[in-house]
Amino acid sequence: MNEPRAREVVARERARVESLLAELGGEIGAEGYLGRQQPGDRADAGSPRETESVSVALTADLREQLVAVWRAEERIARGTYGRSVESGMPIPDDRLEAEPLAERTVAEQRLYERRGSR
């Protein structure tokens, strides 16, 4: 993937994550982000404590994604974006289009996830 396209897909991912973080931070509550995500009426949405737990988990996940954006931006700056952080092998453009923050090939990612689940 060429550098301008890499910058574009990573910038789009940054904007998506930052937007979700802002929305989540500013709209938690019965009428907010999580309320819109729940099927059924508000009585089915869970207790305030459950809602808060989900909010904390979503926020943590989005912050991890933001750190991954920063790492991708660093790889672009170093000229290593699109190469596996483990092997240096090229990551296919199709994978990067679908997953702009990918740091490994699909096979390497599977092994990485298996090692982490032990």
pTM of the model: 0.73
Q: Where are the domains of the chain?
A: 3-116
Q: Is CATH 1.10.3720.10 correct for 3-116?
A: no
Return d(Cα 56, Cα 61) in angstroms, integer: 9
Question: What number of helices (H) and strands (E) belong to the chain?
Answer: 5, 0
Query: Could you list the pLDDT tens digit for every one of the 118 residues in the chain?
Result: 999 999 999 999 999 999 999 988 754 443 444 444 555 544 555 555 555 666 778 888 999 999 999 999 999 999 999 999 999 999 999 999 999 999 999 999 999 999 985 5
Q: What is the pLDDT of residue 117?
A: 58
pLDDT of residue 15: 96
Q: How many CA atoms lie within 13 A of 36 on its CB side?
A: 7
Query: DSSP letters of 19-70?
Result: HHHHHHHH--STTSHHHHHSSS-GGGS--HHHHHHHHHHHHHHHHHHHHHHH
